[in-house]
Structure 1
Amino acid sequence: MLTTLLPGLREFRTPLAIGYMWLLTLWLAFHQSVPDRDSATGIVADIYQLSDAAGRPGSLAAITLLAYIVGAITEVNSNWLLAAINVVLKHIPRAKPIEWVTSSASANLAQFVRTRLAPLRPAEAGDREELEARLWEIIANDRDQIAIRLQNSRREMYADHDRLAAEADFRVNVGIALLGPVAVLSSHDPYFLFSLALPIWLVFRGLMRLRQSNDVLAQALVKDQADSSGVTAFMEELAAAAQAS
């Protein structure tokens, strides 16, 4: 039963945590502009009345729901963030892109790619480096499908991937949301700029955890515990082109 509940709790914690972070940012930025209960008018007075009617438990539930909605809207996919960072790094001289897997998994995938292309004769292979690069790109773009197939074939292995991916999303999103309070506090006291290290470190650790979760998918593909329709289609395309020639 616990294993059934945990994925749901992981889905809930990230938007809730970052939603509270953004609400805290708004409170830090504008709380001095909000009138108190006695002088409030209009919609602010209505909110005070609604809070009185709902009581503390009801008010806390409403704030929690609002935090979850805000978090669900602002949540960032870690893979998208990694892709965006690599787009920026491409325009920086001497900067190297961040691979979507760790170095050990990258070596295993490189061997997998070479093994798949090895049966091709030189005339069929053409520019082998270009074919290897294309196959790498196909595998990277096929991660979601590999994860789905892994869920059907190796549930324990998929659970490891899902746990690591959820931790990555949590760290990345909390790090990004934490920039809000840090920015507001820094506008009042420049010394808070030193605290920028914390959200940046959280995002970095989240991306490293993301690579570990992708390692599980790479391992599953290399060991034939999950397949990729993109890889299969690509190899069939090469075979058909060889027969046509």
Structure 2
Amino acid sequence: MLTSLLPGFRHLRTPFAVGALFAFTFWIWRGASIPTHSEMHGFPNHLYSLAELAGRPITTAALAFVTYIIGDILKLSTDQLSILNRSPHLSLVNYFDLRRFARSAFEKRAPHGEPSGLVDSLVRKIFEEEFPEIRMRLIISHLDLYLEHDRIESEGEFRANVAIFSTLLWITLAIKWSPLFAIGLLASAMLLVNGLRTLTDANKIIVQSLISGVVTSRYYEEEKQCDQACEGETGPDVS
């Protein structure tokens, strides 16, 4: 039961942390201009009255929910974070591993050389279009591998989002209170680097699952079938 709950908790923490950072940053900028209960009129006054009627526990829960919703809207997904990295979340080692794997789909059509652009195209299609499908296949056939991938990816997404939104907080604190808070930007930068590196580590599981045959690639199998059909059309080489 705990295993089934953990992924939900992991996906909950990122939007909540982002929402909390945004709310605190907004409070620093605009907190002094928020009117008190006695200064409120109309609908805002009714909200204050409702909060008093509900009590602190329910009000706190409602604020936490609003914080979560704001964070879920603002948080950056893994795909959006890859734009910041200016490249797919693949290490050089895993990129070349995936490229060698894709190259094996063209053995008969290009036995002595590199098929121009075909390998790169296949690698791009597998990574950009098929990785989400491969994750679903891991859920069905190898849940333990998927949970490990999900754990690492969630950790990377959490670190990167906290780094980005804490950067806004440090800048706000430096402007409003003291320039010394700008030192916190170094911590945010290090956290962002660690987050992007962790996202790269998560994709190692997908790549190695493909290479070892734990899961299959639909695009790879299509190219492999074309390769075998090409061999059949050519026929055996009789000297």
TM-score range, shorter chain: 0.7 to 0.9
- Conserved 8 A contact 1:78-1:207: no
| Equivalent residue, structure 1, for 2:180 | 191
**Aligned AA (2:138):** L
1:107 aligns with 2:96: yes
Q: Which amino acid aligns with 1:210?
A: L
Given the alignment of the two structures, is residue 44 of structure 1 paired with residue 31 of structure 2, yes or no? no
Look up the match of 1:90: none
Higher radius of gyration, 1 or 2: 2
Aligned to 1:120: 109
Counterparts of residues 12-31 of structure 1 (less than 5 Å): 12-31=12-31
5+ unaligned residues in a row in structure 2: which ranges? 235-239
Rate the CA distance shift 1:101–1:121 in 2: closer, same or farther, 3 A: closer
Match of 1:159 in 2: 147
Q: Give the counterpart letter for 1:137 in structure 2.
A: R
TM-score normalized by the length of structure 1: 0.84
Q: Which runs of 4+ in 1 moved over 3 A?
A: 234-245
User: For residues 84 and 159 of structure 2, what CA distance do their matches in structure 1 show?
Assistant: 17
State the Cα deviation string for residues 157-183 of structure 1 (Å, max 9, x = none): 111111111111111122222123222
Q: Is the 8 A contact 2:159 2:192 kept in 1?
A: yes
Deviates more, 1:40-49 or 1:30-39: 40-49
Q: Partner amino acid for 1:217?
A: I
Which residues of 2 match residues 40-189 of structure 1 at below 5 A?
A: 40-86=40-86, 98-121=87-110, 128-141=115-128, 142-188=130-176, 189=178
User: Offset at 1:39?
Assistant: 2.7
State how far apart, in whole Å, the 1-side matches of 2:219 and 2:99 are.
16
1:78 touches 1:172 (CA, 8 Å); kept in 2?
Answer: no
The share of aligned pairs that are identical, in percent, is: 28
Gaps in structure 1 of 5+ consecutive residues:
87-97
- Which stretch shifts more, 191-200 or 99-108? 99-108
Taking the aligned partners of 1:77 and 1:33, their CA distance within structure 2 comes to 33
Q: CA deviation at 1:230?
A: 2.2
| 8 A contact 1:79–1:210 mirrored in 2 | no
* Secondary structure at the counterpart of residue 213 of structure 2: coil
Is 1:220 aligned to 2:218, yes or no? no
The whole-number CA distance in structure 2 between the counterparts of 1:226 and 1:83 is 27
Match of 2:218 among 221, 229, 245: 229
Output the aligned Cα RMSD.
2.4
| 1:209 corresponds to 2:192 | no
* Alpha-carbon separation, structure 2, partners of 1:236 and 1:41: 72
- Once residues 229 and 24 of structure 2 are traced to their aligned partners in structure 1, the CA distance between those partners, rounded to angstroms, is 59
CA drift of 1:196 comes to 1.4
Q: Which residue of 1 aligns with 2:237?
A: none
Within 2, Cα distance between the matches of 1:119 and 1:84?
Answer: 39
Aligned residue pairs: how many? 232
